[in-house]
Amino acid sequence: MQVFEYYFNPKLKPDLIFESFCFEPENIYEKRVGSLYMLGVLKNALPPKAHLLDKLSKVIKEKYYTPTAKSPEKSLKDSLKRANEFLEDLTKGGDVSWLGNLSFATLSIKNLELNFSKVGDVKIFLLRGNKLTDIDKKVKIEDIEPYPLKIFLNVVAGKLTEDDIILVLSKEIFEFFEQEDLLSEMTKICPFKEKKFREILSNKEKKFTALSGICLLIVLSSEKLAARKKTIMAQLEEKEFSFKEILPVIISFFKKLKLPKIKLPSFTLPLLILPKSKIPQFEFFLDGLRDKLENLKLKSQIFFKKKKVILVLSLIFLFIVGFFIFQREAKKQIIEHKNILSQIQEQKTLAESLLILSSPQSLSEANLLLKESWTKLSPLVKIASTLPKDLKEEILTLKDEISGNLYQLNNLVKIPEPQVLFEFKSKEFIPQAMMSDGKNLYFFSPYSDNLFKVNYQGESQLIKTQQRFDLALSFDEEILFFLKPNKIISFKEGQFGETFVLETPYLDFDFQSFSVFKSNLYFLDKKVGQIVKYPYLGNLRWDFPQTWLAPQTKKVVGANSIAVNGSVWILDKNSINRYYSGQLQESLNLNFFPAAENLSKIFTSSSLPYLYILEPAQKRIIILNKSGEIIKQFQSEKFDNLLDFAISQNGKTIWLLNGLKVYQLP
């Protein structure tokens, strides 16, 4: 077998951690169960969780390669059971930050027999000849056990053949491969040649800069297993000083100098010891020879010492010249930094003069100038600690002044200590989503049974049920819960109604978000980029599905969330698009500060004039009008694990689900 690991910009997103782990049997006991491969992704990762993937892989490996192992399938099941226990211990200790953020695939291969399991957004493909098969569809998710959480579930087994290729991709890499048609390009490489695959990737190299993720290739060739080949694609360049940066300058300088060539001999002249002779004439000759040899030795030692001194002096001279070249470049950079700061100061002064006028146009121009200043200043802020003290202080002072003005212009409210309405106990319930019916808040999770009710005064109640819910929305005076793949169940005044099964719109549909308008249901399928509408028939019944987007309209592949209030609002990672009658009407100009980074959820309704946007990456919730203008932003360092939010019917209160805590914002 051959193993290839491709890391795409591993340092691009500090809160995104990914790693692959490959283990080959090292002794007779381990050979019974064969090779073990893992790929893990942890998003929204906090710094203390940087080693979670490594710890999880070690737990699985240690159990898999126990000497008592019987078969690969049984060993994999036992090791995943141990992994569940490890994660369960984390939740009991109050660590729930990984829930909903962990994606992990585990594969074992022995004698062309494959066993695998996965959780989350990781994709697994089998490439056989020129045919690509999505094999992870066989991993069912409906068998998830109630709390204690069982994250790793079914183990799927299959038979491989010679030259098969197992392809494991993180979510973002899969979406990129699919969008750029790289998967179909791979089917043309038969038999697989890593050089050809690298050529395919090199054609897309310019598009890698905004991409972060991992790809693992396992090739079942007859070639003897070589060392793992790890490749970092489109690695971000480090901007810190490196000797490599000045080395070409030094080399260029010395090429112009004509220094004497120094040839050091590769031998040491031996000392000859000749025996003394009793013959006077010959003894005299030998004494003369000894004197000449001693003299020659002394001269050679002096020669070598001189050469060593010349070499040392040359090296000292080299470093002195290099130092002065570096100093000159450093001074040049400082002058450039000061010029940039002067430009920023001018823009800031002009913006402040516009703020005094207070007209809408002047405020807009001031906002634009300050954002341009911030863009220029940000690179200097990152290296401020390496600069002279006076320059560092000037940079940090400008940072505080510009950010303060931008916060005010963009209505950003920082909340040091947000109000806690309720805090869950991890042993009792771990919520992943929430919904309000106008009287109470309801919390649920696709990973475990039961509902949890919290009223607006913070009083709570556990509602036991055998159902696990994926999505929910408010429907008149009740809540509609959605159970994947296509079930709807109503909940009103503490009672569940009948379950209604929606007709399937097409094969392999997978709804990630839904909304309601005039009792019609609108579902977002981000994988295929389609919006599916179910017209309402009355009495909690819905008609056959309709693909809502017009045929000529571009699909919404990769979108994160949907909200409907007459128009259909589709939220992407950093954009909001408005659709009407199946066609794109406009893309909102999101020119607020800080700039959108990774928007996760949108909400609105026909009774509310605003759009509400959740952005966990920058620890805030954003309120916009329907033209995209900023109304208010709430940001707090406490919002370090934002999962979901709910809005009161009058729009005056926001509830945020952050890990195990529920915050209330007036």
Chain-centre distance of CA 544, in angstroms? 38
Q: The tokens of 106 are what?
A: 């585990």
pLDDT grade, residue 209 (50/70/90)?
Answer: confident
pLDDT score of 290: 62
The upper half-sphere exposure of residue 218, i.e. CA atoms within 13 Å in the direction of its Cβ, equals: 26
| Contact by Cβ (8 Å): 624, 585 | no
**Cis check: omega of the bond before 25, within 30 degrees of 0:** no
Report d(CA 432, CA 445) in Å as an integer: 5
Of 35-44, 309-318, 547-556, where does mean pLDDT reach its minimum? 309-318
pLDDT score of 259: 47
Of 3-7, 125-129, 188-192, 505-509, where does mean pLDDT reach its minimum? 188-192
pLDDT score of 296: 65
Chain-centre distance of CA 665, in angstroms? 29
pLDDT grade, residue 123 (50/70/90)?
Answer: very high
Q: The tokens of 650 are what?
A: 């009058």
Q: How far is CA 85 from CA 80, 147, 150, in A?
A: 9, 12, 8
pLDDT in tens, 643-664: 999 999 888 999 999 999 999 9
The answer to whether domain 2-233 has CATH 3.60.40.10 is: yes
SS (H, E, C) 43-74: CCCCHHHCCHHHHHHHHHHHHHCCCCCCCHHH
Report d(CA 59, CA 615) in Å as an integer: 33
Chain-centre distance of CA 234, in angstroms? 15
| Contact by Cβ (8 Å): 336, 372 | no
pLDDT in tens, 272-304: 444 444 444 555 555 666 666 666 666 666 666
Q: What's at 545, amino acid-wise?
A: P
Burial of 561 (0-12, 13-18, 19+ CB in 10 A): buried
Q: Which residue has the tokens 């009991």?
A: 92
Average confidence score pLDDT of the chain: 84
pLDDT in tens, 211-222: 899 999 999 876
In 165-285, which ranges are E strands? 165-169, 213-219, 229-233
| Four-way CATH pick for 418-665: 2.130.10.10, 1.10.150.120, 2.60.200.20, 2.160.10.10 | 2.130.10.10
